[in-house]
A and B are shown apart, each in its own frame.
Chain A
């Protein structure tokens, strides 16, 4: 399953819940969710630990808009909008977490 998170980990517990529950598949960070993919943020350690189970992607236009594209954690793959579509198409199901 592709898990999609669009909220900052400092504002909501969405990412925390996804990292606790998701067992396999991929995680795509979009909108304010991309802050979780940046070096030095409070959720970095938990995100890194989850990378053993989940492939992690972050939407590049959202990283760029927030001036954090140069701070992406190693192992997180930036994707453009076409990459977003590919991810949705490649996974049997997806969940946009609210």
Chain B
């Protein structure tokens, strides 16, 4: 990687939020990347779409509810959030069920966007 200009980073999230640490770790890396002024986007695929489900109440499992962080991402200039339509539909969800505004893309559109990235990290 050269020092010249920001790179396009995409973080691909494919895991549900509390069963494993991946979703939280991805958020941490997203925030670090944004702090380095990179061009950051997030994609939510498969069970990753559950990370954005509205109304998470984690008191009962004594775990930090990190879903409000997705709403704060635009404060870090992370505004490109993509959700794969097929994954959303396969889980009986719609855009109205999500905690943030996202762009919903078909599989092929998301694949093309991935091809345009300099760096893609999978979580």
Contact = CB atoms under 8 A, between A and B. Distances in A.
Contact of B119 (A17, A22, A93): A93
Contacts of A17: 14, 45-46
What is the interface residue range for chain B against chain A? 20 to 34
A23 B111 contact: yes
Interface residues of A, number: 16
B14 A21 contact: no
B98 interface: no
B56 interface: no
A1 B117 CA distance: 9
Nearest to A94: B120
B122 A23 contact: no
B123 interface: yes
Interface in A1-16: 1, 13-14
Is chain A's interface secondary structure helix, strand, loop, or mixed overall? loop
Contacts of B110: 21
Given A1-B120, A95-B12, A96-B122, A20 B115 contact: no
Nearest to B114: A1
30 contacts: A1-B114, A1-B115, A1-B117, A13-B46, A17-B45, A17-B46, A20-B107, A21-B107, A21-B111, A21-B114, A22-B114, A23-B108, A23-B111, A23-B112, A24-B111, A24-B115, A93-B115, A93-B118, A93-B119, A93-B120, A94-B120, A95-B114, A95-B120, A95-B121, A95-B122, A96-B122, A98-B14, A98-B22, A98-B122, A98-B123
